[in-house]
Structure 1
């Protein structure tokens, strides 16, 4: 085989990628429960591309059903990622085209169904990879021809169905299948074939069944030995096919030949052909009258001593009064007279001398009664095993109606209009095992009705009009295994009405009018009854506490109480299911139970299947522990219950649960811990639940998308209720992973901390913060770099920081001594040198950084001034942070330690710097002290300056 193309590899990687990223859910298919991901169903999807349907399926798929979809074409390599596929259904779609390699890589495929589509032609290489294909159905399409070699690769093909197409050329068909050495069945019914003319190629010798019904054959036109290996040949409903068509054709191998609705004259046909006469189906061959039948019998008798089966359907036989089957060979199998117009069989007298018949079938006729037959002196048909009178118009069955057939085991009288059943109708039928009286008009059953049917095992009485079961009706049916009384009008059982049923295993009472469950009915079945169907009755309970009617049914495995009319059960007693330890399946659907007691299911320890869909009235709140003892439950159906809660307390004990169906409920969220408590869960149906696409379901979204073992049915179609344009599987959950609680805690803690700290900072660091703010603002406005120029380029020698109350001393003492009297210092003063119209803070910052020194004139008023504080803050910043000796302190008046204690920055400066104390008038020699003060201040202003360096250089030169 050719190596995969790049496109094929891309497709394979894409498919593998889907499986690696996703979980166990699929976009358009459902994995059948309990199939271990081997069987998938993809029905009624909207996608028109098969890749969208199957591309996320796993390699493990063995059985795949894709039906009722709008598919029109199957492209190349559509199933290449499913190499283990064995059964593929693509029927009932709208397919009209297949690419050549549509089924590539399906080497294990055995069954392929392409029926009920619209394709008219197929490509020659379509099936070349299907080496193990055994069954292929192309029925109900528009095929007109086959390309040569279309079945070349399917050597194991066993069955080929081509009915209901438009095929014309039989020779072409033969050529296509001639090499199929294992082909056994070829169905060509309902095509447009006119003959069996063919080329030199023959049918495969393995072909045993050939169906050619409903064509336009008027002749066979084939070689005489063409059909010599065929066992079953169906030529029915070829209205133009005549007797001469079989002249000389070898039919010796045929075991069954159907000629219904043809022009073949059966007598003449038997005379000209070599067929075994016992292999012909005489249905629809025009044997209408007794004379025709007797003529046939005589011909058969000349050729056969015994004939196994005689089928005479669709011959229009209306009367058997004068028919003498004694002229026929001995019939050892069945005689089938169905689909005729018979009105009477008159105690089977026409079967005289045919005592070897084992089955007599008269379905779909016009029989109106089965008369009293005891007076008929006729040899009984001891070999007769089955009588079938279904689909007639029988109204009455007389006494001893079956006296001639004492050994029958199966009697079918169903689907008639029997209203009168004589109490002695079944007398003599001691070997009877199966009796079907369903779908009639019976109203009463009596103790004598089944008196002698002691070996009866199955009794069907469904869909009659029985209202009461009288005492002793079934008292002799000790071997009865199945009793079906469903669909009647039974209101009650008389005392001992069910006595005698010592072997009863299955009892069907659904669809009756029972209003209560009498526990006395079931005491007799405590060791035998396994199935009890009480659905669709009128059973109601009015007390939550009552004696369990099922307490003695120790072997009951299936119990149906669903659909009680007219209001449902409404009240479910706590003790209703007490004693049912062996129950496997319980049906409570379609009831209006107001409250599900938390201990209702406590005794159902063996339960495996429980369905509660549509069982409750309105919104339901399941109580914790309601399923606590259902540890063996594997399937739980809770559809449309109005459930509003799903919790671990309710479902946590279902450790064996595999299937959980909860669609059409009202819960908006499902906690993931409850789902994770179900370790065996693999099928979860959440459709039509208004799940909210909020953070409440963020973990549920992750669980449904990534769970490797749980299939969420049609997960990718689940919509968000708030916005139906959004899908549940991918709604945005990023915001959900922000721990809002944590962030709120830290935010609140920070806010409390700040509100506590800010007052302290305001008191302790007010000016430092204010100073820092103004420095930053100046820096941001591009003043910083301009202000921090080199000292030699400073505009002023000193900036004078003082309080306005000390202005007189500054103007009268400081200014004359530093700018006058032979001094050449240039001072910066507020009122004189600040730039008009400029922000005062900017003026202060500019003055500090435009002056080599800052002289702070300290006084008590200075300490209390905000602007003076800012000025000294700026100066001290340059002192401590920039390590520049720019601050000079002049103390005008004594200031105590206590007064300085609250001014930390000022105190720090005074501890680090030596300050000058202005000598007041109280000193002994104020003029001399003041002169010394001014000399020290001038020297301090010169310290570290360019002027000081120039004077030092002059002194050195002088000394030299």
Structure 2
């Protein structure tokens, strides 16, 4: 069966279809074929990661491995590489020219490694690099010329290294005439005293979290071209050090966390008050007023007062400030905030009060309107309640963030008057009840986020006035039941998130109010469960004709178990369906029949007794592009299941029980580009022979193909390289080997029959005699006859008149075996001949022309010679009855062969010589004929023919 399957596999591979390729430790992105991720592969050398990547790669991420060294020319074969990520490795050494031939690289990230120093040639070849990150390395020294090859560098990140000398860093920057951003935060710099000037192009400099005490060490021109300077969290207390520095070009200065007098700083330096970020300067309430006085009267775009230990805002605190567009009071200690209009009458647009201690938002019913205020954020506070008309002062509010608080009470009219609000975030609070009047005035609301509260009931028409709402997030609540009026009024809703609730049942009536607009529905992590295949009520989604994304994964506690028939009926536009983590026992074969537009389907991690999918389950999913079947218990791939997925591009089959991959399925998936078979027990058998052939092509990416090991203790090695010679079947050779002998036989049989019939018959008798001899029990001591006489009937007269009387009637007579006298009646002629030869001590061949022409005589002498040559016994006595020329003997090569091997006795015509003839014959029969007697023999032939008839062996 194996060779037959291999033959079929090879034939199928010749047909149009998918062929595969793979990378040892990288995954190619489906969206961007030039992007490769080699993350968390436990790699120790860079070649094992990128050695097999194609030269057209533009993005490579080799992060989170154990690479400690980059040898020279590590990426020479990737000339088009643009981004390279080597984050979180163990890099200690970068050899010279390690980045050779990377002229197109513009971003290099080497952060979170073990680099302690940089050699002179570490970055050679990176002439077009724009962004370089070396953050979180134990980098203490930089060679003065290490960065010189980076002539186009614009951003250099040296965050959290161990740099001590600012002068050394400044000198290493010489030649970087395009550098704009330099991050030296979290190092060990204690002074700014460079020997070399900073590049004039440098405009953004981060020096926070160092040990700087002054800024005058670098001379007045050190910061001349800097526009954005971060000196936060240092130890700068000497304000006079700013006096000599040229700060007039600064547009932003952050001094947060330094023990200095900000007002003294403004007095002695050339810094403009509006360019200073006042966060973290311990201003207090009084300090805020002083700052406002220094800012002048012109409108201010941003005023940041973060981390200033402000505990309350009085009317006087911000009264002297110029008009402010954005006010940031985050990271203070505000416990209570009065209505904004009472302490800010300017055209405020955005108010940020995050990370404070606010515990409530009071009523502001009598407040005046701040018509310019559009954005308020009270995130990360401790707000417990929001009272009646809490935002009356901001009637034109567009965005309101109240998330990540502890709001348990939201007054029914807390949001009253916010007719222009478009985004409301109340997520991550403690809300339990929602009322219809809570959102009655939010007629323009488009996004409502109520995730991670404690809402358990949705009252009818609670969202009835939100006709323009597009996104409603109710995930992470305790909602158990939904009614047909839960979403009434949401005529524009397109995205509904109900994941992480306790919903047990859904019906078509629930979603009827949003049937014409809903596009995304998330029901992940609820308690939907079905125990029968029969759907008693109407399909729950039959009205959602525009829904394109449906999430039903991870139903609690044991999954959906069963997908009823026609469950997805009505979802004519659905493109993405998530059913993973549902421990499915069975799926109805027609479950997906109505999803003709489906492009993505996930059934991952649904293994709970379900093994192979039912035939025809995907028959209508002709537009499906991505299919995730990880860990669903599949044992086989069949055309009945996958045959219609003609547009499938991505197939994930990891963690299944697949031992073989059906080549017919692979060929049916003509557009497949991505195949994941990780952790499948693939076998190294002939059934997977075609799998190896995929490696020689570039069409379908098989994830980590070279790491698939043989799943057997007896099988060693990997699927891509197991020994396949036993599976190879050369069809042409087999056909040639079978047909050629058959044709030759058909051609030769008539010729052989016509020309060699008797010869074949003769050999057949020879074979019979050999077989009989093998079965014969030999007795070398006793013979029935002294000689068997082989003669032709034409010479019978001489035999009966001369030979028989001379040998049987004389003294010491011999017993002869003759055809007509001694052959056993009823026995075949051949068997009689064989028995006579082997029961006789000798065989006398009476040779004449008639004897030579007889087939039976030829058989007799052949049998006798066989005994002579095989048994090495002197059993043959040849009597030449008449003179026969050599030219006649040459036609009988068998006879001539015997005569050349044995000396013969010629019958003389002279009576006087006949006496010697009988003497020689008797001695030959007795076995006493010597060489001397042989020399006395007379030959009836000419002397020139004698050598052709003599033999090298002797008689007796």
Fold match by TM threshold 0.5: yes
Per-residue deviation at 1:488? 0.4
Please state how far the C-alpha of 1:322 moved relative to its aligned partner: 6.0
The corresponding residue for 1:290 is 285
Q: How far did 1:685 drift? A: 0.5
Specify the alignment match of 1:807 in structure 2: none
Equivalence for 2:242: 246
Equivalent in the alignment of 1:110: 106
CA–CA distance in structure 1, aligned partners of residues 376 and 567 of structure 2: 43
Tell me the distance in 1 between the aligned counterparts of 2:814 and 2:238.
143
1:232 aligns with 228
Tell me, yes or no, if structure 1 residue 31 matches structure 2 residue 33.
no
1:319 equivalent to 2:312? Answer yes
Deviation (angstroms), 1:432: 0.6
1:468–1:494 Cα contact (<8 Å) kept: no
Alignment of 1:7-26 (within 5 A): 24-26=21-23
The Cα of 1:148 is off from its aligned counterpart by 1.9
Which whole-Å deviations, capped at 9, do the CAs of 1:406-459 have from their partners, x for residues lacking one?
Answer: 111110000111111100000011111100000001000001000101110000
Deviation at 1:801, TM superposition (A): 7.3
Q: Is the 8 A contact 2:387 2:410 kept in 1?
A: yes
| Residue of structure 2 aligned with 1:440, choices 406, 425, 429 | 429
| 1: CA distance, partners of 2:329 / 2:460 | 39
CA displacement at 1:192 relative to structure 2: 1.1
What displacement does 1:511 show?
A: 0.7
What are the within-5 Å matches in structure 2 for residues 611-650 of structure 1?
A: 611-650=602-641
**1:205 and 2:180 aligned:** no
Preserved contact between residue 848 and residue 871 of structure 1 (Cα < 8 Å): no
> Residue 591 of structure 2 aligns to a residue in which SS?
coil
After TM superposition, the structure 1 stretch with the greater mean CA deviation from structure 2, 257-266 or 290-299, is 290-299
1:307 is the counterpart of 2:297: no
* C-alpha displacement of 1:223: 2.0
Give 2:413's aligned residue.
424
Matched, 1:345 2:342: no
Q: Is 1:336 the counterpart of 2:333 in the alignment?
A: no
TM-score normalized with structure 2 length? 0.79
What is residue 188 of structure 1 aligned with on the other side?
184
1:689 to 1:950, Cα distance in 2 relative to 1, 3 A: closer
Shift of 1:356: 1.3
Shift in Å at residue 553 of structure 1?
Answer: 1.4
Pick one of 661, 670, 680 that aligns with 1:679: 670
2:474 is matched with 485
Give how far 1:526 is off: 2.3
Q: Distance in 1 between matches of 2:450 and 2:287?
A: 39
What is aligned with 2:502?
Answer: 513
Instruction: Quote how far apart the aligned CAs of 1:651 are.
Output: 1.0
The gaps in structure 1 that reach 5 residues or longer are 1-21, 751-761, 778-796, 803-809, 831-840, 890-908, 910-930, 955-960
Is 1:583 aligned with 2:574? yes
CA apart distance, 1:609 = 1.0
Q: Deviations over 1:338-391 (max 9, x none)?
A: 1111100022255233x211111111111111111214xx43221111111111
817 and 427 in structure 1: CA distance in 2 versus 1, 3 angstrom threshold? same
Query: In 2, distance between residues paired with 1:953 and 1:941?
Result: 23
2:81 aligned with 1:90: no
Equivalent in the alignment of 1:137: 133
- Offset at residue 300 of structure 1 (A): 2.3
- Which moves more between the two structures, 491-500 or 583-592? 491-500
User: 445-454 vs 214-223, which deviates more?
Assistant: 214-223
Could you say which residue in structure 2 is the equivalent of 1:768?
Answer: 766
Q: Does 1:727 align with 2:697?
A: no
- TM-superposed deviation, 1:243: 1.5
Residues in 2 aligned to 1:590 and 1:408: alpha-carbon distance in whole angstroms: 42
Does structure 2 conserve the Cα–Cα contact (< 8 Å) formed by 1:212 and 1:234? yes
Alpha-carbon distance between aligned partners in 2 of 1:775 and 1:542, rounded to the nearest angstrom:
83
Change (3 A) 1:610 1:875: same
CA contact (8 A) 1:631 1:654 kept: yes
Change (3 A) 1:847 1:112: farther
Partners in 1 of 2:48 and 2:527 — Cα distance?
48
Alignment gaps of 5+ in structure 2: 1-18, 743-759, 776-785, 792-798, 819-833, 869-875, 882-894, 896-910, 923-933, 944-956
Matches within 5 A, 1:760-839: 768-772=766-770, 800=789, 817-818=806-807
Distance 2:80 2:788 in 1: 97
Task: Give the deviation of 1:630 after TM superposition.
Answer: 1.5
Give 1:175 shift: 2.1
SS of residue matched to 1:335: strand
TM-score (norm 1): 0.79
Cα deviation for residue 254 of structure 1 reads 1.4
Secondary structure in structure 2 of the residue aligned to 1:468: coil
TM-aligned CA deviation for residue 211 of structure 1: 0.3
Distance in 2 between the 1:558 and 1:952 partners?
114
User: Hey, what does 1:5 align to over in structure 2?
Assistant: none
Secondary structure of the 1:309 match is strand
Q: Residue 565 of structure 1 corresponds to which residue in structure 2?
A: 556
In 2, Cα distance between equivalents of 1:656 and 1:235: 57
Distance 1:630 1:23 in 2: 23
| CA distance in structure 2 between the aligned counterparts of 1:848 and 1:76, rounded to whole angstroms | 93
Tell me the distance in 2 between the aligned counterparts of 1:798 and 1:604. Answer: 101
Q: Secondary structure at the match of 1:493?
A: coil
Give yes or no for the alignment of 1:502 onto 2:499: no
Give me the CA root mean square deviation.
4.1
The one of 342, 353, 368 equivalent to 1:379 is 368
Residues 375 and 398 in structure 2, CA contact (< 8 A), matched pair in contact too:
yes
Q: How far 1:653 sits from its partner (Å)? A: 1.6
Q: Does 1:173 align with 2:162?
A: no
CA distance in 2 between counterparts of 1:657 and 1:110 reads 35
Cα drift, residue 946 of structure 1 = 9.3
Matched residue SS, 1:874: helix
> Does 2:63 match 1:67?
yes
**Counterpart in the other structure of 1:711:** 701
Counterpart of 2:821 in structure 1 is: none
Q: How far is the alpha carbon of 1:251 from its aligned partner? A: 1.2
Question: Hey, what does 1:913 align to over in structure 2?
Answer: none
Q: Which has the higher contact order (CA 8 A, sep 6+)?
A: 2
Q: CA deviation at 1:263?
A: 1.8
| Greater CA drift, 69-78 or 551-560 | 551-560
2:927 aligns with: none
Taking structure 1 as reference, are residues 694 and 818 closer, same or farther at Cα in structure 2, changes over 3 Å only?
same
Q: Once the 2 structures are TM-superposed, how far is the Cα of residue 941 of structure 1 from its aligned partner? A: 8.8
Task: Decide whether the 8 Å contact of 1:470 with 1:493 is kept in 2.
Answer: no
